[in-house]
Every structure is written in structure tokens, then in C-alpha cells.
Amino acid sequence: MDQTRIENLILVTRDRNGIATITINRPKSLNSLTRPMMVRLARQINALGKDESVRVIILTGSGRAFCSGVDLTAAENVFKGDVKDVETDTVAQMELCKKPIIGAINGFAVTAGFEIALACDILIAARGAKFMDTHSRFGIFPSWGLSQKLSRIIGANRAREASLTAMPISAEQAERWGLVNHVVEEGEVLRKAQEVAEAIVKENQDLVLRYKAVINDGLKLDLGHALSLEKERAHAYYSGMSKDQFQKMQEFIAGRSSKKPSKL
């Protein structure tokens, strides 16, 4: 598969506000992933994460699916690849990315596609979207986190049923279970993702990055250690601030409080 072809399968666009959009663009195959696509996706996430002009990343798919998983016609090439190569591991790069990642789920998010969705920080889904774990159906062992993350989000009993029966989870059910942030009409997914991204861009970007990190890092710990982590990072943050920075913070807060309250 030549480089131009691969680039066309994983499209990247940027806007002036610092919002980058990655589109998995293989609609005739429901955006199933080949090894070269996975490598490009990982490298693009890495590059956008390091790009200082990018503040938020939106990840979506073209056509009727977000991502239907790994292209099983090339399964051996994918599953027997170097699984310890973090640089070419899509989900590992998403987890290492400091920028917020919004998943715009416009159709099926199946197995590896489900795992990519779970690696996003915020999920927007169309009404017709479905999340599905087919690892047990096809004899594929999960390696991108589905067996651990889903139970922590929707509860162990629900996760066991979804994974052991390959039961599809509708967008509405996903929202009720806390898996999805917003469910919108078909065709409105990118608009809503853009709206959320623009709201993030308006905030203090240094704090956005630090806040994402402390939430995600804390989720890996028990509550006691997670609270200690927050205290440590807060202390380090304030210890590193100069008197001038504190003064600017006070002036900013005073200016905001004098304005009319937001309707939100």
C-alpha cells in the first residue's frame, strides 16, 4: 500500500482555533483498519499531541461507521506485529496524548473500533451508533484495553454481558450507562464535537492539559492514592507560580465575576 493511499485512508485537517480532526476514511470497508492505517493513525496522534498549535483533537470515521475494527483479511499481520512498539500503537499513543481527544461516533464502533472509542476523553454519538465487542465471537484476545476499561465505566455485570455475548450497545443505552457524553441526530455528530472542542479551547490551556492528566492518571489508582496525586500536583502547580502570575489570576477572576453569569 503506497504512502499516498495510506494518507488518504487517515485524513488530518486543522482549523484556525487549534482544533484538529482525524478521519478514518475507508467507508467501503466500514473503516476497518489495516496495519499501515494503524501505524499512520498512531503517528498522527503523536504528531498532533506535540504540535503546539493544536489544542483539541476530534477523531471520527467517514460513511456509516466510526471504525469496524481490524481488517480480518490482514489479521495475522496485525496481531503478530510488534505489540510492544508503543510508537505504532494507536491506543497507546492516544493514552499518551496530552491534548483532549473527542470521539465523534457516527456509526458502528466495533471491537478495535470500540477500544479506540474508549481511549477518547469525551464521546459524542449519533442516534444510530452502536458499540460492539466481538472478540469472543471471532476468537480474538483484547489487547487495547476493552476487557478492563469497559467494566470500569459501565459496571462489571454489564461489561461481561456485552463482551461475552457480543451484544450491541445502542447510543442511547451507552448514554444512560455513562459511556457516551451526548447523543445527537444523524449528521450532527461533528458539529457537536466541534462545539465541545471550541468550549475547551476557550479555557486556560495549561490547566486543561494538567486537568486531563490528573483525571486520567488518577483513574489508574485507588481513591486514596488518587487524592494524594491531586494534592501533590496542586502543590507543585502553585509552588511554581510567580507573584505576577497570582496577580494576573486574581485580575482575571475579578474580571470574570463582574460580568453577567453565563446561561450555562
Domain ranges of the chain: 3-202, 221-258
DSSP code for 33 = B
**pTM for this prediction:** 0.90
CB 205 within 8 Å of CB 213: no
DSSP code, position 63: T
Residues 6+ apart with CB under 8 A from 162: 131, 132, 133, 150, 154, 169
| b/e burial code for range 61-75 (CB count within 10 A of at least 16 → b) | bbeebbbbbbbeeee
* 8-state DSSP, 263: -
Q: Would you write out the chain's pLDDT as a tens digit for each of its 264 residues?
A: 566 787 899 999 999 999 999 999 999 999 999 999 999 999 999 999 999 999 999 999 999 999 999 988 766 566 655 556 899 999 999 999 999 999 999 999 999 999 999 999 999 999 999 999 999 998 989 989 999 999 999 999 999 999 999 999 999 999 999 999 999 999 999 999 999 999 999 999 999 999 999 999 999 999 999 999 999 999 999 998 888 777 777 777 777 666 655 554
DSSP designation for 225: H
Spell out the CATH class of 3-202: alpha beta
